[in-house]
Chains A and B, each alone.
Chain A
Amino acid sequence: MELTTDDVRNLAKTIGLEIPDADLNTVALRLSGLLALMDEVEKALGDEMDKVDPIPPVYPREDF
């Protein structure tokens, strides 16, 4: 996933955020990098991710 600065500008518009041009490329790099890494996670764990509940932040289980 390689987002362009235009992609990022338009995405930001959906949440009412105006990112100055000088910072658009950095945000695009950060977001593109994270989404690419999520692709790796999906490749490795995707099927199992369908079978678990999202993590609770506390420890309700007796064994811990």
Chain B
Amino acid sequence: MNDTGLAYLSVAEQAALIKKREISPVDLVEIYLGRIEKWDRVLHSWITVCADAARRQARQTESEIAAGRYLGPLHGIPFGAKDQIATGDVPTTMASVIQPDFGDGMTATAVQKLQDAGAILLGKNNLHEFGKGSSVNFHYGEPKNPWNIAYEPSHSSTGSGISVAAGLVSVALGEDTGGSIRGPAWANGVVGVRPTFGRVSRHGGIMYAWTQDTIGPLTRTVADNALVLQAIAGHDPKDPLSSTRPVPEYGRHLTPDLKGMKLGLVREMSVGQTLHPEVERMLGAALAVLRALGATVEEVSLPRAKFAVPLQFLTSDPDVAAVFLRKWLKKHWNKFDVGTRTRIAAAALVPAIVYARAMRARALVRNEILGAFRSYDALLALMNFVPPLRLQESVEKIESREDVASRMFKSRRMCTYPFSIANVPALSVPSGFTADGVPMSIQIAARPFDETTMYRVAHAYEQATGWHLRHPDLEKTVGPALQTADAQLTGA
């Protein structure tokens, strides 16, 4: 198998080769470092690449495995972390230029758990400034979609999605408050999971939406995602809101069929909206596959879901502003991106009475969603009503009241925020491609702490469709831009 083939293998496949010592973690790290050096000049999915440290750890891992001390399926697997997640002495920039490191020497519990399992930190992934999806400018380069660089790679955990999709790393960690893992998973054609709130420790994530923030994995397959979540989940005394519930063995419950399962398609997050024709066709095909696998699919109406977007902006954003205002915004206004600073400033000015009322409304929205889980094993929704947009169309411009309304009700947020407000687990799984070769996805959500069912539905669907076996041909999609960049550098 050539280097490109190895780069695109799933974690499970790479782990099997490492365990048998048919490939070395040193080789795998070198393959990814080479690909990053070549392709990331255009893709901009990394802010920091810790090449020397990764090489050192890979050599150590190789020795451990050779000595018979194999730790398990993540031993020797390279991973990336959104540059919002603290990684010890590797700086955490938040994609900001305000200060070089926001990590304060912390190591996030999720990162520590991966490292304890033998995984190798390859570097830190690019993101929208501070993880807010409103950036207009990127201090570390504008991230590009590896399937078609003219299209958006979605918002926030953007580099994590790109790097996994482009075969620049085996797996990446992201952070999802309203959809920041699922969005980049959708646009880049990988699997992204927002776990149940409390399933994964928030410790070491530089994120202040304390009622909604989650850390989760982005991977090339559902089984890989289950494997990584298994490793990072569990109670952490450093996060008082992390759950003490036992972590199930997710991988044991992955089955090829869905016999007896009852799925609810949320009308307001799918067929109840005006859909782009390619999305409509994709959804019809996906539902047919799920039914063929043995599931019953019915439409369910959650009319309050439409309130999730403004309610998140009126509650979680003020929680973020409560920290940002004193620490950074007052001192460094001009160093913030205009989209980020105006969004946080607006959140800082939300009256306390409105915040308190919005928190009450959130309870009602959540209760409606939880109520649906009394009738359905899992809920289905789109990831967006349109495919990923062209880059220039995806930039969030606020020049009129209509722009604000458009961001609320016509954007991807309408599909992801309801499950965030409910704090239930939700997953984005690839479900097809547009005529321009850009990925599309469906979304699967489950009851709180029932990631097992969510993974089961997604795995059966993935195995039946095989979308996960497609990877971007970077020579075709990125190569021309690379040649242009090189020509500009040499002045040709």
Which residues of A approach B to under 8 Å, CB–CB? 8, 11-12, 15-20, 23, 26-27, 29-38, 40-42, 44-45, 48-50, 52-55, 57-59, 64
B338 proximity list for chain A (CB < 8 A) = 23, 26
| With known contacts A27-B345, A30-B343, A34-B310, A57–B210 Cβ distance under 8 A | yes
Whether B398 lies near A30 (C-beta < 8 A) is yes
Of the residues A17, A18, A35, contact of B354 by C-beta under 8 Å? A35
Of the residues A27, A29, A57, contact of B211 by C-beta under 8 Å? A57
Closest B residue, CB atoms, query A49? B360
B313 proximity list for chain A (CB < 8 A) = 34
Whether A55 lies near B350 (C-beta < 8 A) is no
Of the residues A12, A44, A58, contact of B345 by C-beta under 8 Å? A12
Closest B residue, CB atoms, query A32? B401
30 example contacts (A-B, Cβ-Cβ < 8 A) are as follows A11-B349, A12-B345, A15-B325, A15-B349, A18-B330, A18-B333, A23-B338, A26-B338, A29-B401, A30-B398, A31-B349, A31-B350, A32-B401, A37-B405, A41-B307, A41-B310, A44-B304, A45-B361, A45-B364, A49-B357, A52-B364, A53-B360, A53-B363, A54-B359, A54-B360, A54-B362, A57-B198, A57-B241, A59-B243, A64-B448
Whether A59 lies near B198 (C-beta < 8 A) is yes
Instruction: Knowing that A44-B304, A53-B363 touch, tell me 12 more A-B residue pairs with CB under 8 angstroms.
Output: A12-B345, A16-B330, A23-B342, A27-B342, A27-B346, A34-B314, A38-B310, A54-B362, A57-B198, A57-B211, A58-B198, A64-B373
Q: Is the interface of B mostly helix, strand, loop or mixed?
A: helix
Of the residues A36, A37, A54, contact of B356 by C-beta under 8 Å? A54
Closest A residue, CB atoms, query B359? A54
Of the residues A19, A38, A45, A58, contact of B197 by C-beta under 8 Å? A58
Whether A52 lies near B363 (C-beta < 8 A) is yes
Nearest 6 CB-CB pairs, A to B?
A33-B404, A54-B359, A30-B346, A37-B310, A57-B211, A49-B360
* Per-residue contact bits, chain B 323-360, to A (CB 8 Å; 1 contact, 0 not): 00100011001100010011101101110001011111
Number of interface residues of B (CB under 8 A): 55
| With known contacts A30-B342, A31-B346, A35-B354, A41–B361 Cβ distance under 8 A | yes
Whether A41 lies near B346 (C-beta < 8 A) is no
Q: Is the interface of A mostly helix, strand, loop or mixed?
A: helix
A30 to B340, CA, bound (A): 12
A40 proximity list for chain B (CB < 8 A) = 307, 310
* Per-residue contact bits, chain B 383-402, to A (CB 8 Å; 1 contact, 0 not): 00000000000000011110
B354 proximity list for chain A (CB < 8 A) = 35, 38
Distance to closest chain B CB from A23 (angstroms):
5
A53 proximity list for chain B (CB < 8 A) = 360, 363
Distance to closest chain A CB from B132 (angstroms):
12
A12 to B344, CA, bound (A): 12
B330 proximity list for chain A (CB < 8 A) = 16-18
Distance to closest chain A CB from B176 (angstroms):
14
Q: Which of A27, A35, A41, A48 gathers the greatest number of chain B CB atoms within 10 Å?
A: A41
A45 to B367, CA, bound (A): 13
A40 to B362, CA, bound (A): 14
